[in-house]
Amino acid sequence: MTILKGLLRILQTRPFGFLTALAICFALTSVLSAAFAHGVADGDKGYIQETTGFLFAPFVYLGAKHMVTGYDHLLFLFGVIFFLYKLKDIGIYVTMFAVGHSLTLLFGVLANISVSPYLIDAIIGLSVVYKALDNLGAYQRWFGFQPNTKAATLIFGLFHGFGLATKLQDFQLAPDGLILNLISFNIGVELGQLLALGAILIVMGYWRRTQSFWRHAYTANVVLMTLGFILTGYQLAGFFLV
């Protein structure tokens, strides 16, 4: 709680205090950098590399598994829907996010764009920070205007897609059936996203019916922001120290 209060005080007093908070999280996580790892499970990787051709079910499974277990993607989605109540609005934002990560997932793999997974995942961590600050009303307080939240969701979706692409590139995919396998993986990602989103909405629905929601909404977004900083610091430490 002391760390959270300190970070909140920084954010309230300095518009660019998030850089200070990021530096703090970098220092806290740098000592753990030797344990960092990117990529996919050895079992999944071995199976894919030993087979060729169009593999619909395995790639759907891998896509769904990655999204359901991808805490960075889920934290961003949690922030996106935190104050959304209408299913129509939720559908619009989730669609923007899905379009963004689908485009760069396909483009990143097909164009063989090599980007450091540490840097991409650091940006994904910052997307969590951005959305938490948006929910806290920080941009209105600091700069006097509200950024376009739909555009931000689409843009960060593009970065999340590059994150997915870096994971797929770890498979060293065979060219035989590549496009269909990528589409299958993306279908799995969307299915996993819908499953995770459904679970989040159920929990949020019950929470919103209680008086504690508005009492703790601010704190919840401070925690979300802090987790985003930690994810970012974690990945930057891996980039510079591993």
Count structural domains, the chain: 1
Whether 104 contacts 161, CB under 8 Å: yes
Q: Select the more confidently predicted residue: 223 or 11.
A: 223
Q: To the nearest 10°, the Cα dihedral for 131, 37, 197, 114?
A: 70
Q: What is the pLDDT of residues 65-112, one digit of tens each?
A: 888 888 888 999 999 999 999 999 999 999 999 999 999 999 998 988
Mean pLDDT on 105-120: 88
- Residue 18 to residue 177: CA distance in whole angstroms: 44
Q: What is the pLDDT of residues 173-198, one digit of tens each?
A: 778 888 998 999 999 999 999 999 99
Q: Which residues span the domain enclosing 88?
A: 2-241
User: What's the pLDDT at 47?
Assistant: 66
pLDDT higher than threshold 50 for residue 3: no
User: Which residue intervals of 82-146 are DSSP H helices?
Assistant: 87-110, 117-135, 138-143
- Residue 138 to residue 5: CA distance in whole angstroms: 16
Q: What is the pLDDT of residues 13-39, one digit of tens each?
A: 444 444 444 444 444 444 344 334 444
pLDDT higher than threshold 80 for residue 117: yes
**pTM for this entry:** 0.81
Average pLDDT across the chain, whole number: 82
